[in-house]
Structures are given as C-alpha cells and as structure tokens.
Structure 1
Amino acid sequence: MNFIIGSRGRLGQAIAEQYPANEVTCIDRAVYERWAEPDSAAAITAYFSEYAHAGAVVYICSGLLDPRLPAQQLHDVNFRLPQNIITAVASAGIRVVTFGTAMERTLTSNPYVQSKLLLSQFVESAGGSDFSPAHIRIHTLYGSAEPSPFMFLGQIMSALRAGIPFEMTQGRQLREYHHVLDDAVAIKSLVGNHAEGIIELSHGMPVSLGDLAKAIFKAFDKTHLLRLGALPEPTQENFGHVFERPEALDGIAFRDSIESVVDYMKKQITA
C-alpha cells in the first residue's frame, strides 16, 4: 500500500495517479495535522499500526514553499512532520519518501531551503536499515494546476492577465523545469527500485529564466510587457551549475522545458 500525505497538492495528486486506486491511501489532513508536534509519536504509530503493513510506502508530499512564511511554520511542516513520521515508523518496516529542493546546496539563506536542508541531513543520518528513508530533491514543477502566485510562472501569469509590465532581473539564473507528471513517473520508478538516501531528480537540461520569460511573453504577443534588467541581480543564485542526470533516471522521458511550459501557460490563461 502507498500512503500519501499532501494528496491535494500538485505532486501528491500526480503520484497518486501512478497507482491503481486500491493501492493508494490518501491520508486526510485532519488525521496528520498535529503530527508535527513533539508528542505525536503515539498517534503516528497507532495510525500506521492499524492501516499499514511492512513494505508499505509513505510519500510525504505536504509542504510549504513560500519563503515569506514564518520560519517556524516552514520548519514545522517541512522538517518536523517528516522527521516525526520517519522516527515513528522506523521499526515497522515502512519506507518513507520525502521531498526537498535542488536548491539545498545553493540558496542556503532561503528559509524554505533551510527547512529542506535540515530534512535531507536527517534522512542521511537515519539511513542504514533495510527500510531507510529517501529524500528526493526536485526542481521547479509545473502542470496540472495553476502556478502558485508567488512563483516565477505565477507572477508572469498575473502580469499577462492584467496586461501590466513584468519586471525581473537580467534572467541569468538557471532552472530546471519539470512537468509534474514526468516527475511522478520518475519517482515511482525510483521507489520501485528501492532508492534510498539523497536522490537528485534532475534531467540536466536547465533553461535561463530570461529565455523562459522571453518565450512566454512572445507566445502571447506581449513582449512589450517584459522588463528584463529592471530588478537587481541576486547575490546568491545558480548562474552556471548544471545538475547531472543520475543513472537511476535512465529511460525516463522529460518534456522540453520551454516548449512545454509555454503550452502549459497558454492552457492556464485560456482556461
């Protein structure tokens, strides 16, 4: 059985769709909303003792992405919740899969990234058993729903809909954009092959934010709204590092980022 925490989100929904309905349990938020608290071990153990058996997989897809949220809130949801679950089920033969960000090694001053970095360090320290947890570092996801308003694509969408200028840096930052369904297929494959520890879910085909923005605004015939260079360059960013595609992802197909993102944005704008 596969248990999904955070099944209403983009990633949780996509992972759930990879399995037959009788092999997935989407845990209601009311069940786990207090599992980040210090005294939650008994409740977590009781739940999985009743519903799970050895060999079950728990996908922890819940998480907060907005770095503007209070640091403690990010810490509780992104670190404490998965930490408590991993600790509670460690002796039950249940595998836990957590998710982080590819930016854990670069944007270390970001409160969101800090919470995920703590989680990856905990997962590394918890390894060494037949049911060691996995921490999959993912890149920027799109597809299946509108982009979050605070994300780059969400900000572009707001500008396009309102017909107002979109100010950004020169756009030299490099990003990998992954369609969420492509990543869901990759994640199922990784888990099926008993991947554990820290895993980079990278396809190795980054695009610059500037090139992506230019392609999107051109597709909508709105290039006059794009203000490249209007904002200062960030001091801590990825301007040159290209992530390597791990051998574990051989045979997994990923869509062309710019073409697919443009198509996705068109569908969202006209929906």
Structure 2
Amino acid sequence: MTTLLHLSDTHFGTERADVMEALVRFTHEQRPNVVVLSGDITQRARRAQFAAARHFLDRLAAPATLVIPGNHDIPLFNLPARLLRPYGNYQRAFGTELEPSHETHDLLVICVNTTRARRHKDGELSEQQVARVAQRLRAARSEQLRVVVTHQPVHVTRLEDEENLLHGHREAVLAWAEAGADLMLGGHIHLPYVRPLADSVAGLARPLWCLQAGTAVSHRVRGGIPNSVNLVRYAPTVRSGACIVERWDHAASTRRFERESRLEIPLSRGDTPAGRP
C-alpha cells in the first residue's frame, strides 16, 4: 500500500501552532510514503517563513517530500526581488528545482510550477509544460498511480471561484487525461473537494479526477471548513482498479486530525469510458 499525504496553503507566517503539532502527530501515525505540498507555503515569501516551513516539513519525516511554489511564494512588495529573483527565498529553503517529481514502482507524481512573476495571483501553463508532462505520463507503467500537481485549481465548485481557475487548464486536462493521468492535485482556494473532471471538461479520453486540498495549518480557513489535509491510498492490483481518497479535518475538541470522508475512485487503464463511474 502506497500512501500520499496532500497538503496545501500552509501560509507560514499565519500558521497555528496547535494544528502544526496535530499534523506532525498525524503524519507519524499514518506514515505516508510521500508528502506533497501544493503551494502557498508562505504568506509573504520571506526567508524566515520559508525556513519555518522547511523545519516543519522536516519534522514530518516522510521518505519523500515534494513542494511547489504558489503565488504567495513570490515576493509581493519587494519589486526588485519579484522581477529579478522571484524564487530566491524559496530556493534557499527547498533547492533550485521548481517542478520536482517522484517515481516508484506503483506511483508517479509530477509537479508543475504554475506561478508567474508577472501575475499577482493567477497561474498559467505553457504549451511546453503541457507537452512535457504528457510525455512523462505516456511513459508511465500500467500499475502506477499517475498524479499531476499544480497550485491553482483546474476545477471549481462555486461561481465566485472561477476567476481562480488555472489559465490553460482545459487544454492541459484534455492532454493529460489522454496521456494517462489519474489525479490532479491542487490548492489555492482553501476548499477541499474531489470531483471528476468530466463534469467541467467535455471530451476527456478517460476519467481524470480533481483533488483539492483545504487549508493545512494556517488560520486562513474558508467556508467554515477547519484545517484540512488529504490522504491518497493506493495498492496496485492486476488491473490497478481503484485508489482511496480520504479527507482529514482538524478537530479543536480533540486536537487531532479526524477522518471526515472516504471515497473510492475507480481508475481507468484504457477500457473505461471517460466520465462519472
């Protein structure tokens, strides 16, 4: 069994100490194989905030950790840094790679940097990024769970969030579904949900699911939803038929993360029509 812990929008500089400690305990109990943090690591892209985030992720002690920048991880008020070294503080803490990946016998995770220094909060994808990810997906083994990670969402559930959709998401979703992606992980809007992308993008070659994470450890929660993280569990079989997605919310009364929902997602390996199972 492979377990992936999906965090997003930690916004260090606005973190809650009690939630952080609960998440450390939770991670040590669940022992995920990989932790993915899908952007907005910090509140204002300051060096101390990145250092605090790095220290926190090190405490989780996962065998593998993948991190991508969000729009908050590029300086907002320091214009020279934003223009000349937008990822300077990020790279001091997490290294020069902005699009890390992770591959094992039964898992492939591909991270895509959707931030742009010229944009305030919007994200976008280039044709080159779409093609590169599709090529990597086509080379995946049949038993691998294939996951693509962006910061901004490729699907939203509320009209007021449409302005937050990733620019170029439709072309990317079509290409990556055809190439074999199973899940797309994201954050940015601080709302957790799981949806089939066939609900919003017509013409998918195969099923592809959107998995959004809520607010991990920041007080910047939204929609009345507490701090929240996702677990993805996957055990490859002969047909690699399904993965399990669980949402875990922080409960103030117990100071623990408790399971809020569990969903089994059927996976397609070329013999299932695209759309809702």
Instruction: Tell me, yes or no, whether TM beats 0.5.
Output: no
Higher helix share: 1
TM bucket, shorter chain:
0.3 to 0.5
Higher strand share: 2
**Higher RCO, Cα 8 Å, sep 6+:** 2
- Name the larger-Rg structure: 1
